[in-house]
Structure 1
């Protein structure tokens, strides 16, 4: 087996010689092509502890993987050890104490189904296979964020395996500084989360799914939709949130689309969205009341099984002029050669997110109005470079309109990334990194850095 001695390891070991190796190395972003020397699938805390100790004793570089959704592939790498916690996926819901304990490998869909079966809302993300631990580490945006808070805002305790292979319990009273850090620091900077205890949020059986599409190249309509959304979010009911995408699809052409969720009736939703619905008569609309589980399933099922893409996101703090919005539309009208789909999207923020002080958790940009995302998706590998360069080129303009970058939407080329992701919280985060990972055991291209 590669000439390495794997004695001491438990769990399932996959090497380059294993028949399942090619399947095991795949990231959700198929544009990520990395070839680790070994992948260790862990089924419990002991497997993770043994993997960390083995890697440290053998001076092996590690990455940690849960859902495998990191935009830039920081959960994998070439000729290193991937510690995969996706098999630690148990969910225990304690309705009496209003908490739920989730394994470090639980994914969005699993959480939505378990919580929904008990009649509770879950503040997860949109894509079904995103790991909840990775979501929480970066703060965690979702369609319920304005009403329920970020995914990390529900966290009441976590268990983490540190660089020595010791299990630490994190909460407001025990290792409270590290507990603060894992709510927004992103990636795997301090250790490996094996369990998360979260607060049970609102009981909710029904909600309204929002799906509005203006599927044609009409710049005036697209412009007016964005202008109205800017106005709407100033006083938007916290029970509503949505993502708005100015898109260009090779199959469907140019348009603007709104997808979201409202914890209320469809009639209420239509009243709130009236300024947008009155812009034109020529559009597709589905504002439908369903069970909350059905709403979340629809949103999740709208995502493909995988993609090849380059994408990132930054924070919006002000309204944009008609000229600035027109420039964003112009970017989408001029996609890369070989593109399949491209979009500039506004992910709604505000609501209860801004009720927490930006220094109270590691997630810093609580007073932003939106996250602005940009992405380019392609099918054929021969167009990979062109699509990546398109994003990097147009990111320069988006940077002039925004402040700070979202750590869960990382960009490999981002300059001064620590300051961009964490704002003034970076100074405290460095101190915590120095305390809990003094030898940089948990290191990756955009990890929090401390001097050895």
Structure 2
């Protein structure tokens, strides 16, 4: 471990000799085990600016951490300065303008609780502890996206500390090219986002929480569910967004689950999801709840942390019956040490597809859904990594591109896979706003090392 003089850093600085360092260096995915030189918990933009300038003056690479949920652990690293925004987490609502402004460390749970107290929903993510900034910067898939758009589609302004420690504003009228890039270009590429202003959607009294489950679903039924899912989604009401999953659990065996939100009453929801209830042996519930109650129940699915490996893809066409059988077979056997494997399907379409692919940096507007392959394990990390890598070859052959918020570390040609034809424009924006590549990580937009 390097030794360094931390004079000049402001905020709460945690170094390896701090008794809480071992706990605080951890991120959500415990398969990631990194040892930063220091973690600086910033409370304001001055702390962030000082951290950026300190890292440059000491030739120490930096990373940016909000909720710490980057699946590959790109928000941390060995011998780096970790700029942690979790204590920079105020929220302001302007009802007159229908806007909500969140600071860089605000989580899904915090924004949901704040806006819901006034009767608003919010186009956020599913996991309560995910940082809103990282979520939205990568595009922002959530269980309201088909009805309210992606998180990035609702962004109207951002504030960012750049490589010189200067605060910039990005919007339609100020630094519009940076504003374009920050809506889907991924977190950590252009600077430290310190605040984001979103449009507030119209108030809602209640939504319907949808929960569909099939226990003891063998490979044939899982394959049939994928066929049913893709047919159903093609014409599904835009007021409903679901995430569906075929899984192989040590505790439950093979199964199917679909959960989501419908902006309407349960009796209307029943007619909409009826095709997903007809495979035999289904258990389901359709409950009218407040928006906050619904997202809180969904959020309870997520543990405080876990160890996993994963890879994502976009699905742009229907799978054949043979292909759905192959897909179901991907999770049929868990690797040694694994307690849970799954192939998930995150619905797109609706308002997501109403925006052109080049209107924001989020490229895959025409995808039907995102699919995500994962294994959760208690031991044997290498075997679980190999399990993902082997299956990714088939998954890649029948899909196009990957979701930057569900990164895969071994992704070949990752810029094209994450950003499609928007990659070239993103490189130009990167060179303009971060010419020395101060904000870098293994799958950053520029590959060359920082030039300090």
TM bin (shorter chain): over 0.9
Q: Hey, what's the Cα distance between the residues in 2 that align with 1:288 and 1:450?
A: 48
8 Å CA contact 2:89, 2:103 repeated in 1:
yes
2:320 alignment counterpart: 321
2:432 is the alignment partner of 1:435: yes
Q: Hey, what's the Cα distance between the residues in 1 that align with 2:96 and 2:224?
A: 48
Q: Deviations over 1:302-321 (max 9, x none)?
A: 11111100012110011111
2:143 is the alignment partner of 1:143: yes
Deviates more, 1:439-448 or 1:327-336: 327-336
Q: What is the CA distance between 1:220 and its match in structure 2?
A: 3.4
Q: Hey, what's the Cα distance between the residues in 2 that align with 1:30 and 1:125?
A: 21
Q: What is the CA distance between 1:205 and its match in structure 2?
A: 2.2
Q: What is the CA distance between 1:187 and its match in structure 2?
A: 2.5
2:309 alignment counterpart: 310
RMSD: 1.2
Correspondence 1:48-197 to 2 at 5 A? 48-197=48-197
Aligned partner of residue 331 in structure 2, secondary structure: helix
Q: What is the CA distance between 1:287 and its match in structure 2?
A: 1.4
Q: Hey, what's the Cα distance between the residues in 2 that align with 1:338 and 1:5?
A: 42
Question: TM-score if structure 2 supplies the norm length?
Answer: 0.98
Q: Deviations over 1:121-167 (max 9, x none)?
A: 10011001000000011001001000010011110000000000000
Shift of the 244–3 alpha-carbon distance from structure 1 to 2, 3 Å rule, reads: closer
Aligned partner of residue 303 in structure 1, secondary structure: coil
1:400 alignment counterpart: 397
Q: Hey, what's the Cα distance between the residues in 1 that align with 2:106 and 2:374?
A: 26
Q: Hey, what's the Cα distance between the residues in 2 that align with 1:30 and 1:219?
A: 30
Q: Deviations over 1:334-360 (max 9, x none)?
A: 221121101011100000001111101
1:386 alignment counterpart: 383
Q: What is the CA distance between 1:273 and its match in structure 2?
A: 1.3
Aligned partner of residue 49 in structure 2, secondary structure: helix
1:228 alignment counterpart: 228
Q: Hey, what's the Cα distance between the residues in 2 that align with 1:283 and 1:355?
A: 33
Aligned partner of residue 333 in structure 1, secondary structure: coil
Residue 412 of structure 1: which of 392, 409, 413 is its match?
A: 409
Question: TM-score if structure 1 supplies the norm length?
Answer: 0.98
Q: What is the CA distance between 1:283 and its match in structure 2?
A: 2.1
Q: Hey, what's the Cα distance between the residues in 1 that align with 2:409 and 2:354?
A: 31
Correspondence 1:21-40 to 2 at 5 A? 21-40=21-40
Q: Deviations over 1:228-250 (max 9, x none)?
A: 21111111111101011110000
1:421 alignment counterpart: 418
2:273 alignment counterpart: 273
Aligned partner of residue 420 in structure 1, secondary structure: helix
Q: Hey, what's the Cα distance between the residues in 2 that align with 1:366 and 1:433?
A: 22
Q: Deviations over 1:362-394 (max 9, x none)?
A: 0000010000100000013xx111111101110
Correspondence 1:306-385 to 2 at 5 A? 306-380=305-379, 383-385=380-382
8 Å CA contact 1:2, 1:17 repeated in 2:
no
Q: What is the CA distance between 1:289 and its match in structure 2?
A: 1.2
Q: Hey, what's the Cα distance between the residues in 2 that align with 1:217 and 1:114?
A: 39
Aligned partner of residue 288 in structure 2, secondary structure: strand
8 Å CA contact 1:74, 1:445 repeated in 2:
yes
Q: What is the CA distance between 1:225 and its match in structure 2?
A: 2.0
5+ residue gaps, structure 2: none
Q: Hey, what's the Cα distance between the residues in 2 that align with 1:48 and 1:112?
A: 25
Aligned partner of residue 332 in structure 1, secondary structure: coil
Q: Hey, what's the Cα distance between the residues in 2 that align with 1:297 and 1:86?
A: 20
Q: Hey, what's the Cα distance between the residues in 1 that align with 2:149 and 2:3?
A: 49
1:254 alignment counterpart: 254
8 Å CA contact 2:220, 2:325 repeated in 1:
no
Q: What is the CA distance between 1:223 and its match in structure 2?
A: 2.5
Q: Hey, what's the Cα distance between the residues in 2 that align with 1:278 and 1:415?
A: 39
2:440 is the alignment partner of 1:447: no
Aligned residues: 449
1:42 alignment counterpart: 42
5+ residue gaps, structure 1: none
1:212 alignment counterpart: 212
